[in-house]
Amino acid sequence: MSDPSLDNYSPDRGQWGSRLGFILAAAGSAVGLGNIWKFPYITGENGGGLFVLVYLVCIALVGLPIMVGELMIGRAARKQPVGAFTALSGPSSGWRIVGWLGIITGFIILSYYIVVAGWAMDYTLKSVANFTDPIAETASAEAKAYRATTPLEEMRAALVVDRANRATVEKVAEVRGEAPRSAWKAWEIYQKALTEAAAPGGAGVATAEAALLEDAEFARKIDLVRPVAARIDKLRADAKAEAAAFYAAAEPKQIRDAAETLDRRHHIADAVGKAFGTVVTDGWTGTFWALLFMLITVLVVAGGVSSGIERVSRVLMPLLVGILVVMVAYSAFQPGFGPAVSFVFEPNPSRLKASGVLEALGHAFFTLSLGMGAMITYGSYQAKKENLVRQSILIAGLDTAIALLACLMLFPIIFSYGQEPAAGPGLVFKSMPLAFAEIGSGGMLLAILFFALLVVAALTSAISLLEVVASYFIDQRGWSRGKAAWIIGGVIFLFGVPSAFSFDPDFALASWEPTFGKSFFDTMDYLASNWLLPIGGLLVAIYAGWFMPKRIRRAELEGMSAAVIQGWLGLIRYVAPALVALVILQKVGILTLD
Ligand code: TRP
């Protein structure tokens, strides 16, 4: 077979030293903030079980075949994405654009990725300084004062509200799902209008109601919500009655103890939330950590493929798995472990919406590092004669296992400390420190381990993002590896500075949000994860399935059974493109699913 890489060979182009090294590096790219930070919070927001199941199906039917496709393209061409399409389909091939798209996507993702990684570094250092300790101390003092000064009945009432809330939060979210979101919006408007109309000087409830319900579409929505809202009210009332009965039977001392604990946790949650706010809104600190993180990333990439990326992955990946296992072992002994396991693994049909299915598919791309040529690039450093399907299964399997373990580490703690699983992006940065503060002295060690885990996971992923962009300049422009890593790393860092400042109220970038509806940071994430990756993935699937020269495809799949090859072709030609196209159509608004 002709080897397209031999023309235009660059001496700075590397190769993996071993099969294991490649697997660890590719898994290192896949396992990142997406697994430990993002997957648990979107699982929490989408109600657990069924979302996880859908995600697993997306990994198997869409992620896996596209990963095989990317590795195949890279290995056959021995080039990064732009060069790869040219090498395989000729210099005038329009597919080169896919490569360019990948480079731009990598540039964008890395620019805000280093900011989140920077927060994790900041938190690691804070943990070494035992930052939760003073928080816990102050909170304890405040809770003691609360206990000493608050009447028993008031404490009892606070406990009843808390117990009833916790008992119903999951169920309420489930029942809410029975009416569409747009109907709930109408309901909110309706309730607000009625409250205003009932106030002195208002138009009166009957008049306001009649005016609102004149709109047939609005009235239809209200009718949809009315029975659901009534059931939720009933659920809440029942839970309140149960909680009231529960605490009616309690001894005064029990009440005081429980109320003190509850109050302490409220104070800790407040302080921890404020601490996160301080980190996020301080652009200078964010920039400093992002710079430091980028510096480390550049040093590794400048070190080369086998002596930089592979060597670091060989150390960091086992370390990451080790830390995760220690954390899961800790969580397994927490009272919240049982509820957490059923939350993550029990399919719960009424909580998942169509938009959640799409989110699962989009996340499958992000978490497997697909859709922008990272796997094309890593595949290009691969020696021939490895079984790509088996390797992809290994990489995707490792990534999935780590995402699930991350859930089994987080949710037991969340449930044991009465936290909300649907807390959003702050889940890791707010809920975890709360648990660390409550645990006391051992909490410091866990906190250090946990945030170091986050940094390690982010580093091996950031390396792959930088490598994609840098390798273009190495392969196509003849730059030396060191020059490419430093210059490109520097430029991407500069582009990341606005992300670091996008929550800082003292800077003009904070006004991006009122203007564009999303912070600069979120705009970048949204653009990359919701548009660029799915589009890139779709194009890669179409190329690998339909347009890649048959001769090359056949050579790459040599030695695999006919069943495996047919299965892969079916997935990459039909299933994966159809599913991804569905996501894109829904995003464009051509398909509306609630
Ligand atoms: N997969 C990484 C994560 O889960 C992020 C990442 C690294 C990535 N390289 C990528 C995402 C390439 C998309 C494309 O955090």
Residue nearest to atom 8 of ligand 1 (CA): 369
List all residues whose CB is within 6 A of at least one atom of ligand 1: 29-30, 32-35, 109, 366-367, 369, 372, 374, 461, 464-465, 533
Tokens at 53, concatenated: 């199941």
Q: Are 447 and 355 in contact (CB under 8 A)?
A: no
Task: Tell which atom from ligand 1 comes closest to the C-alpha of 461.
Answer: 7
Nearest CA to ligand 1 atom 6: 369
Q: What's residue 190's pLDDT?
A: 93
Q: What is the pLDDT of residue 3?
A: 45
Separation of CA 466 and ligand 1 centre (Å): 11
CA dist., res. 352 & res. 361, Å (int): 13
Burial class (CB in 10 A: 0-12, 13-18, 19+), 314: middle
Whole-number Å distance between alpha carbons of 58 and 403: 14
pLDDT tens sequence for the chain (594 residues): 344 444 444 555 778 888 888 999 999 999 999 999 999 988 988 888 899 999 999 999 999 999 999 999 999 999 999 999 999 988 888 899 999 999 999 999 999 999 999 999 999 999 998 888 888 899 999 999 999 999 999 999 999 998 888 788 778 877 887 888 889 999 999 999 999 998 888 888 888 888 899 999 999 999 999 999 999 999 999 999 999 999 998 999 999 999 999 999 889 988 888 888 888 889 999 999 999 999 999 999 999 888 888 888 888 888 989 889 988 998 999 888 988 898 889 887 767 777 788 788 889 999 999 999 999 999 999 877 788 999 999 999 999 999 999 999 999 988 887 777 877 777 888 888 888 888 877 788 888 988 998 999 999 999 999 999 999 999 889 999 999 999 999 999 999 999 999 888 888 777 787 777 778 888 898 888 888 999 999 999 999 999 999 998 988 888 889 999 999 999 999 999 999 998 888 777 766 655
Q: If phi over 0 gives left and psi between -120 and 50 gives alpha, with beta otherwise, what is residue 353?
A: beta
Nearest CA to ligand 1 atom 13: 369
What is d(CA 194, CA 122) in angstroms, rounded to the nearest whole number?
47
Best of 363, 465, 466, 533 to mutate for ligand 1, by most ligand atoms within 8 A of CB? 465
The pTM assigned to this predicted structure is: 0.86
How remote is the CA of residue 467 from the centroid of ligand 1, in Å? 12
Tokens of 5: 């890489």
- Determine the pLDDT at residue 592: 63
The predicted pLDDT at position 205 comes to 87
Q: How many CB atoms lie within 10 A of CB 593?
A: 12
DSSP 8-state code for residue 573: I
